[in-house]
Amino acid sequence: MNFAIECALKENGISKFNELKSLMTDSQKIQQRTVKGGRILSSNGSSYLLEAIYHSYLDEDQKVDIYSSEYEIGNPNLIEDLNKQSLYQYLEEQYGGSAEDSVKRIEQYIKKLTGVTFQSFLSNDIKRVLAYKIITLFYKLSKYEFKGQSKIQLFNFLDIETRFKMQFEFRASHPYRDAEGRGYENTALLAELLGHLTFSMPKEYLEQSRLMETYLPTIADQISMHTRNYIELMNNAVGHYDDSGQMANLNKIADGNLKSAFNSIFESVGNQLTQRLDFLLYNLISLKGYIARKSSNELLAKLVHETHLELQPFQGRTCKTWEDKHFIPYLLGYDKSVSKSVDKQADFIEKYILARNMNGTTALPAQNKQILKAVIIHDSAIDDIKIDSFVFGGKNIPSSITAVLKTGVRDLENSKVNGTSFSYESYPEAILLYWDMRYQLALRIVLSKDKQKAINKYRRIANWETRIDEVLIEYVKNANLNTYDKLLTLPKKLQAFLSNII
């Protein structure tokens, strides 16, 4: 682990301790120690350079040298002076501003986020006074300035709410590069906050600290997969019936069974009023990112299934040949030649689909690729499809689904010519996901005998995925360590429950 950090420090031009201290504390180097410093792999997953250095490279004396004040969360020593006026004096001398009013706002934010008064945390933390260290952390971050810009509006940034725009870019990893640099800055700020919150955690809490960010989306995907497979299985069980009433009855049975399964595996947890403040804040702020993605997924799924997709089902029919010139016009229902630009656009989206689904293959099956091309041709002919994304402080976020295709093709070709790496970080995730979801819907339509039933099943699955997110969010709020341990077992429990009732 130290070898990996040594290599990362060398790449960042760090050879002396004073340079290391500057890297860890200078507000202008926030991106260097987070999003642009690379992620370091360990047995507990991956973390940014900031977190890896603190936990796996520095000894206790070095931590004190870098974070010289006991009020700093990186300093492992107890706070000797518990007078609040002394805290105010330190904050004003070190970071400027009027401390008393700012601290009151920080305390109000903590109460709003956790549902617990700051005084309650302070009362339960007399010896170590972790609460003062967290006050200092929030105060310091609220005074950060990005180059050429005013101080970051920390609490407005963290107080993200459901919007009518996609907000996939609210996250602490895998930054969105554009939006006039704010994608990187926002991701760096969130990573800085979460990384510092781990500095004060005991080992058992530290081991759990990345569980929310790292595993919750994966757990949700696994639960969604089992739910989707169950719905598919129940639909296939009566696939030979044409009577819609038969399917409606089956859907009611399936929904009832799924509700019972969820009630069984998601045991409620009480509000943990004595929870460690650093651990609680870490998980609740991480959860905000998950909630932002949840609401964005709901908006995007609604757009995907409400935008007409007039592809022709293939089952029970024949086509002259499987060549593009015959099969794609067959899917579209009208004569249409496939240009080289469509081929390249399909290549761009195909690579994203495979990467997102962690598919080990290098290409989609030939007929699937043709379906993807048909979707691109179909949707490119619709003039009014716009997807607005929200990036805090960012402007001019691309909204055209076709413009992103053209830009992506150009960038992909340039990377091949120049031999440079290619990343999807330069494109709004909402638009990339739109094409992935439209492709998945098209597969259902083309491979189904009944287009409307295929669309209805897609909607049912999307609705259940929304419910899964809602249940997971409620389950993990204010949870304890035992609850997070059990998170990893939920998908298998659901699978076992559903297997027993089939």
> How do residues 306-341 score in pLDDT, each as one tens digit?
999 999 887 767 788 889 999 999 999 999 989 999
Residues 384 and 347 placed together within one structural domain of the fold: yes
Cβ neighbours of residue 466 under 8 Å, at least 6 residues apart?
294, 297, 298, 301
- Looking at the fold, whether 286 and 368 belong to one and the same domain comes out as no
Count how many domains the chain has. Answer: 3
| pLDDT reported for residue 237 | 67
Per-residue pLDDT, 348: 96
In a domain, 158, yes or no: no
In a domain, 220, yes or no: yes
Q: Are residues 294 and 402 in the same domain?
A: no
DSSP class of residue 447 equals H
Whether residue 495 is contained in a domain is answered as yes
Which residue type is seen at 106? I
Is the same domain home to 257 and 344? no
Alpha carbon distance 94, 106 (integer Å):
17
At what angle are helices 211-237 and 451-476 packed, to 10 degrees? 150
At 361-374, the pLDDT tens digits run 788 999 999 999 99
Share of the chain above pLDDT 70, in %: 91
- Report the pLDDT value the prediction gives residue 247, as an integer from 0 to 100: 67
Confidence at 239, pLDDT banded by 50, 70, 90: low
- Asked whether residue 24 falls in the same domain as residue 55, the answer is yes
The per-residue pLDDT for 55 is 92
Q: Are residues 218 and 287 in the same domain?
A: yes
CA 379 to CA 402: how far, in whole Å? Answer: 9
**What's the mean pLDDT in 345-358?**
90
pTM: 0.88
What integer pLDDT is reported at residue 273 of this predicted model? Answer: 45
Higher pLDDT, 249 or 59: 59
Which domain, by its residues, includes 446? 309-450
For residue 34, give the 3-state DSSP assignment: coil
Rounded Cα distance between 185 and 189, Å, is: 6
Q: Is residue 393 part of a domain?
A: yes
Beta-carbon contacts of 56 under 8 Å, excluding residues fewer than 6 positions away, are 1, 2, 5, 40, 42
Q: Are residues 266 and 386 in the same domain?
A: no
User: Is there a domain that residue 6 lies in?
Assistant: yes
Q: What is the pLDDT of residues 430-469, one digit of tens each?
A: 999 999 999 999 999 998 878 888 888 888 888 999 899 8
